[in-house]
Amino acid sequence: MADGAAITNDAFLRACRGLPVERVPVWFMRQAGRSLPEYRAIRGEGSMLESLARPEVATEITLQPVRRYGVDAAILYSDIVVPVHAIGFGVDIVPGVGPVVEQPFREARDLNRLRPLDPETDTGYVLETVRNLVAELDVPLIAFAGAPFTVASYLVEGGPSRSHALTKRLMHSDPGLWAALLDRLADLAIASIGSQLEAGAAAFQLFDSWAGALATDEYRRFVLPASQRVFAELRGRGVGASSGTEGRGRVGAQETAPGIHFGVGTGELLELLAKAGADVVGVDWRVHLDDARERLGPDVAVQGNLDPAAVLAPWPVVAERAVEVLDRNAGRPGHVFNLGHGVLPETDPEMLERLVDLVHGYQAAP
Ligand code: CP3
């Protein structure tokens, strides 16, 4: 851990490791962002990629929701396209749209545009932000990267896509090129997350947001090997945290950074997300948490899974839905409370504030 850092609240790390906690830890995907007035104020009008490349700005944006909500983990303000942007693939993030690629990935020649990432020179600003944060935070910082499939879908489609048709076409028509592409993207994820952990992040999340577009056999054949390699190479890395000495059985788990694997619409893929090597599987809101736990077994922790749209309802409804999620976990160790996907921009921050208090005050029925 970097100098000066002290994680005094390790409930999130303990839950990721399946250890008992005094209160259920909670954080929110997209907790930093447009739902916060203080984000909109500091973010300004420029490109998001420019704002996250300024460490003092990115540090402040990461800290905003931690201060306001009292969540049990911080997530770095960055984006899944930062590594491909940093090596010059030609990506921008267009407000209200998402990542847009100037020249999409089409053929073998395009592999040359995906050189290895040198984290210190290509993304020094990210590492400076991580170091700033670790010196400030008393909760763990979550490192992240996009999973090979989800980043590939942006590179191949050229932007957001509903059907992922071009991505699937490449996958099925040129499996060799597809595998080479995912291999490069796995290398980028490993280098990026690895460097964030080295700089002091205490856990990591691999976002395979759009993996739910795939059938299980497609996932197993065309995606699992690359994501599996990401988890395998990151296993055992990390700087550790003061969370005691009881492990969950995995070698060295108590000193190393736990890995979370998340996707949307991945109900059919839950077991495969775990099989990739995750300590924690992020569950979207379509799957009941008790079903997810049954399918994953006691050795895998879960994260989730209140519907982000439910948070737009009046408080009594939000509270009821949140308690339902907690009751479905029924006090089992290994639950990190979160939404089933990112905070929607129209969310009232006060609801999230109350939600954190509710989760922290929850006691499962004996
Ligand atoms: O608070 C956090 O969660 C940390 C920061 C974070 C962002 N993006 C900031 C962001 C994280 C972890 C991501 C990951 C990310 N980026 C994912 C995986 C998570 C998911 O939502 O499934 C994906 C698919 C992306 C790609 C991307 N970047 C999209 C779809 C968008 C939204 C486009 C829009 O404007 O609606 C972005 C932009 C983005 N990333 C914003 C933020 C805060 C909005 C940027 C702005 O201020 O304009």
In the predicted structure, residue 97 carries a pLDDT above the cut 50 = yes
Residue 30 known to be catalytic: yes
Ligand 1 geometric centre to CA of 79 (Å): 6
- Residue with the smallest CA separation from ligand 1 atom 22 is 209
Instruction: Tell me the pairing of strands 91-94 and 98-101.
Output: antiparallel
Q: Among 93, 139, 164, 262, which is best to mutate for testing ligand 1, by the most ligand atoms less than 8 A from CB?
A: 93
pLDDT at 32: 96
Catalytic residue among 34, 250, 321, 328: 34
From CA 349, how far away is CA 31, in angstroms rounded?
9
| pLDDT above 70 coverage of the chain, percent | 94
Q: Among 30, 63, 67, 68, which is best to mutate for testing ligand 1, by the most ligand atoms less than 8 A from CB?
A: 30
| pLDDT tens digits, 263-276 | 999 999 999 999 99
| pLDDT tens digits, 205-235 | 999 999 999 999 999 999 999 999 999 999 9
pLDDT at 253: 39
Ligand 1 geometric centre to CA of 30 (Å): 7
Ligand 1 geometric centre to CA of 92 (Å): 12
- Give the residues surrounding ligand 1 with Cβ less than 6 Å away: 29-34, 43, 48, 75, 77, 79-80, 93, 95-99, 144, 207, 209, 342
Across the chain, what does the average pLDDT equal?
94
In the predicted structure, residue 342 carries a pLDDT above the cut 50 = yes
Q: Is 203 left (phi over 0), alpha (psi -120 to 50) or beta?
A: beta
In the predicted structure, residue 65 carries a pLDDT above the cut 70 = yes
Instruction: Place 238 in a pLDDT band, splitting at 50, 70 and 90.
Output: confident
pLDDT at 4: 56
Instruction: Place 254 in a pLDDT band, splitting at 50, 70 and 90.
Output: very low
- Secondary structure of the chain in the HEC alphabet? CCCCCCCCCCHHHHHHCCCCCCCCCECCCCCCCCCCHHHHHHHCCCCHHHHHCCHHHHHHHHHHHHHHHCCCCEECCCCCCHHHHHCCCCEEEECCCEEEECCCCCCHHHHHHCCCCCHHHHCHHHHHHHHHHHHHCCCCEEEEEECHHHHHHHHHHCCCCCCCHHHHHHHHHCHHHHHHHHHHHHHHHHHHHHHHHHCCCCEEEEECCCHHHCCHHHHHHHHHHHHHHHHHHHCCCCCCCCCCCCCCCCCCCCCCCCEEEECCCCHHHHHHHHHCCCCEEECCCCCCHHHHHHHHCCCCEEEEEECHHHHHCCHHHHHHHHHHHHHHHCCCCCEEEEECCCCCCCCCHHHHHHHHHHHHHCCCCC
Residue 154 known to be catalytic: yes
The atom of ligand 1 lying closest to the CA of 40 is 47
Per-residue pLDDT averaged across 347-351, rounded? 98
Instruction: Place 5 in a pLDDT band, splitting at 50, 70 and 90.
Output: low
Q: Beta partners for 304?
A: 337
Per-residue pLDDT averaged across 137-157, rounded? 98
Nearest CA-CA partner of 280 in 290, 270, 268: 270
Instruction: Place 6 in a pLDDT band, splitting at 50, 70 and 90.
Output: confident
